[in-house]
Structure 1
Amino acid sequence: MYTVLLPVDTAESRATAQVETAIELPNAGAEVEVVLLHVFDEADRAEEGSPLQLRAGERAYERLQDAGVSVDLMTRYGDASTEILEAAEDVDANLILLGGRKRSPLGSVLFGSVSQEVTLDAERPVVVTGDRRQQQRPSHRCRSCGQEYFTDHDLDIPSCRNCGGTKVEPVDGRESDEPTKAA
């Protein structure tokens, strides 16, 4: 079994990109086990909580299960990068699959970067997926003209800004064969 540690936060677009990357691993349904992790700030929340309390965690869990990938849940509390590294050690993860965000150099200095810390300090492979836009995975597509949108999956888009059509529907991440149009 190939174990993937998949830490999620509140960003659905990053969690979706992480999940789609996990699903695309060779033989994911048969040979990959994903440990879905959320690191809470406070011990009380971690003891009572689970990654499924977050919409991003709930969506990630459902998508992994729909794809036939084995999923375990884990919560921790404390410093995110430290807890991610310790969780990877505890579950003997073969891969840490992060959903990093873009920050300016100044932003990274001021706020730090969990992805950067984990990547630098990990003793196992780390993949940073970014979010849906960075992976060119749309969240919605207009069925009339094919216009693609990159936003939260649960956002309702009433009409297409390209053709005015009203058939803008969520994309589940499995269909990405059509050409991407700028949104």
Structure 2
Amino acid sequence: MYHVLLPLDDSEERTRAQVAATVALPHAEESVTATVLHVFRDEETAEKTAVEQTSAGKVAMKELREAGVTANARSGHGDPERQIIAVAEELDVDMIVLGGRKRSPLGALVFGSVSQAVILDSERPVAVTGRGASAE
């Protein structure tokens, strides 16, 4: 089995691109398991909100399952970069599929970039999707 981690934010568009990249993997129906992760900023929200209750989580779980990919959901709280890397290590995933967002260099400097931090700090392969893709 090939285990993929899909860390989501609130964008359904980026989620669809992540799902499309996952279902496009060779033999996805037979050999890919996807863990959908949403990292909430605070513990209280993480405890009260299931991933499937978020709009992006609903989209990911529905589209992965419709494509025949085994999918499960997981939530966490705190710093997204650290949580993504920690969950990837804990689950021993084969790849992390991130939803990319276009930012100016100044925007990335001011607001930070989860994708950049995960790419630099993870020892796992990381794929960053574009936007506008669909799983069809």
Report the TM-score, using the length of structure 2 for normalisation: 0.97
Larger radius of gyration: 1
Partner of 2:111: 111
Partner of 2:12: 12
Contact 1:8 1:51 in 2 (8 A): no
Partner of 1:53: 53
* Over 3 Å off, 4+ runs: none
Letter in 1 for 2:65: Q
Letter in 2 for 1:90: E
Letter in 1 for 2:98: L
Contact 2:23 2:135 in 1 (8 A): no
Contact 2:5 2:97 in 1 (8 A): yes
Cα distance in structure 2, aligned partners of 1:80 and 1:28: 27
Letter in 1 for 2:75: T
What are the within-5 Å matches in structure 2 for residues 13-92 of structure 1? Answer: 13-92=13-92
Larger relative contact order, structure 1 or 2 (CA cutoff 8 Å, min sep 6):
2
- Structure 1: which 5+ runs fail to align? 138-171, 175-183
Report the TM-score, using the length of structure 1 for normalisation: 0.73
Cα distance in structure 2, aligned partners of 1:53 and 1:111: 26
Cα RMSD after superposing both structures = 0.9
1:72 Cα shift? 1.0
Identity %: 46
Contact 2:19 2:135 in 1 (8 A): no
Letter in 1 for 2:21: T
- Structure 2: which 5+ runs fail to align? none
Cα distance in structure 2, aligned partners of 1:109 and 1:173: 32
1:51 Cα shift? 1.5
Cα distance in structure 1, aligned partners of 2:92 and 2:44: 26
